[in-house]
């Protein structure tokens, strides 16, 4: 079933989960054990990340198809940077053959091994991919990424909201946000889309904090903002208590963030699992997410 429809029909807040497929097939049994352990949360849907066409996308296909076989509403990340339409069409067909009926349409990161600009190739933006998928497979469910803080390549908040609106107008059903830590940014994103006539659901993405160093690395890559007070709390925790103290502080913040987002009307919570069931189960328990599957 199309995930956008599931979200719109949900009568109560839900949880969804994001995984990354292991690069080594020998790790698949442990990976599926992690997936199964998190099924206690009754996720409305699960998503599987991907690399560029021809690289990690095969792992995405394998993992997402297996999740669909196990009865989960599975969504494959689909990137288009540097891709040809024929390759995208083949992958869409393979997803369908694997029982997968939803994709998260993304431009993807620019290749490191060759020159690329947004004007290169057929797919210049994620909105081009959305339009292609919608025309190629009208019944495919399509989600897109949204940025509470602007994408690093966007010139302003307004321009970024325009880009997100274009993706949804091109045929996407819903959006999942990039990680963020200031819920005011989420509210501004939703308000900005509504002001542009877009009523598609926007699901906030929450990232568990593994360590202070990993957080700084992620922030440098994705361009997300972090409130100064939280940064100082994590820095102090790192100095005084190390890894465990940082995780506890990050855990407490994630729980508060989830509760506030749901109080503000977010339709559900998308957890970036980092393939760590322990962290996610702990957050879900303390934020009362366990067993929150939507009543359809």
SS3 per-residue string spanning the chain: CCHHHHHHHCCCCEEEEEECCCCCHHHHHHHHHHHHHHHHHCCCCEEECCCCCCCCHHHHHHHHHHHHHCCCCEEEEEECCCCCHHHHHHHHHHHHHCCCCEEEEECCCCCCCCCCCCCCCCCCCHHHHHHHHHHHCCCCEEEEEECCCCCCCCCCHHHHHHHHHHHHHCCCCEEEECCCCCHHHHHHHHHHHHHCCCCCCEECEECCCCCHHHHHHHHHHHCCCCCHHHHHHHHHHHHHHHHHHHHHHHHHHHHHHHHHHHHCCCCEEEEECCCCHHHHHHHHHHCCCCCCCCCC
The predicted structure's pLDDT at residue 217 = 86
The string of pLDDT tens digits covering residues 214-265 is: 888 888 777 788 889 999 999 999 999 999 999 999 999 999 999 999 999 9
Number of domains in the chain: 1
Question: Residue 17 belongs to a domain with what CATH number?
Answer: 3.20.20.220
Mean pLDDT of 45-61: 81
pLDDT of the residue at 133: 98
pLDDT higher for 291 or 44?
A: 44
Domain membership of residue 295 (yes or no) is: no
Domain contains 293: no
Catalytic residue among 18, 25, 135, 235: 18
- State the residue range of the domain holding 185: 3-286
Q: Band the pLDDT of 124: cuts 50, 70, 90.
A: confident
On whether residue 74 sits in a domain, the answer given is yes
In a domain, 292, yes or no: no
Distance CA 175, CA 191 (A): 14
Does pTM surpass 0.85? yes
Is 129 part of a structural domain of the chain?
yes
User: Where residue 181 falls among pLDDT bands split at 50, 70, 90?
Assistant: very high
In a domain, 27, yes or no: yes
Catalytic residue at 244? no
225 assigned to some structural domain: yes
- Residue 296 domain flag: no
pLDDT in tens, 131-158: 999 999 999 999 999 999 887 787 888 9
Minimum mean pLDDT range among 74-88, 110-124, 128-142, 151-165: 110-124
């Amino acid at each position: 079933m199309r995930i956008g429809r599931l979200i719109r029909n949900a009568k109560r807040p839900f949880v969804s989960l994001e995984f990354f497929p292991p690069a080594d097939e020998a790790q698949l049994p442990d990976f599926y054990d992690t997936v199964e352990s998190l099924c206690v949360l009754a996720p409305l849907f699960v998503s599987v990340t991907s690399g560029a066409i021809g690289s990690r996308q095969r792992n995405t296909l394998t993992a997402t198809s297996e999740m669909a076989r196990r009865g989960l509403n599975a969504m494959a990340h689909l990137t288009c940077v540097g891709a040809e339409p024929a390759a995208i069409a083949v992958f869409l067909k393979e997803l369908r053959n694997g029982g997968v009926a939803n994709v998260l349409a993304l431009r993807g990161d620019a290749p490191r091994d060759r020159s690329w600009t947004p004007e290169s190739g057929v797919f210049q933006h994620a909105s081009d991919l959305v339009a292609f998928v919608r025309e190629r497979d009208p019944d495919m469910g399509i989600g897109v990424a949204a940025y509470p803080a602007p994408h690093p390549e966007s010139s302003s908040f307004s321009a970024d909201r325009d880009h997100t609106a274009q993706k949804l107008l091109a045929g996407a059903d819903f959006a999942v946000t990039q990680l963020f830590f200031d819920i005011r940014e989420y509210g501004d994103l939703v308000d900005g889309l509504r002001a542009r006539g877009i009523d598609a659901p926007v699901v906030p993405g929450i990232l568990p904090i593994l360590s202070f160093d990993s957080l700084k690395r992620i922030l440098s890559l994705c361009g997300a903002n972090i409130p100064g007070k939280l940064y100082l709390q994590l820095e102090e925790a790192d100095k005084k208590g190390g890894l465990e103290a940082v995780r506890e502080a990050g855990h407490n913040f994630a729980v508060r963030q989830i509760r506030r987002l749901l109080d503000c009307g977010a339709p559900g919570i998308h957890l970036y699992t980092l393939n760590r069931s322990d962290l996610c189960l702990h957050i879900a328990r303390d934020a009362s997410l366990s067993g929150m599957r939507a009543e359809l």
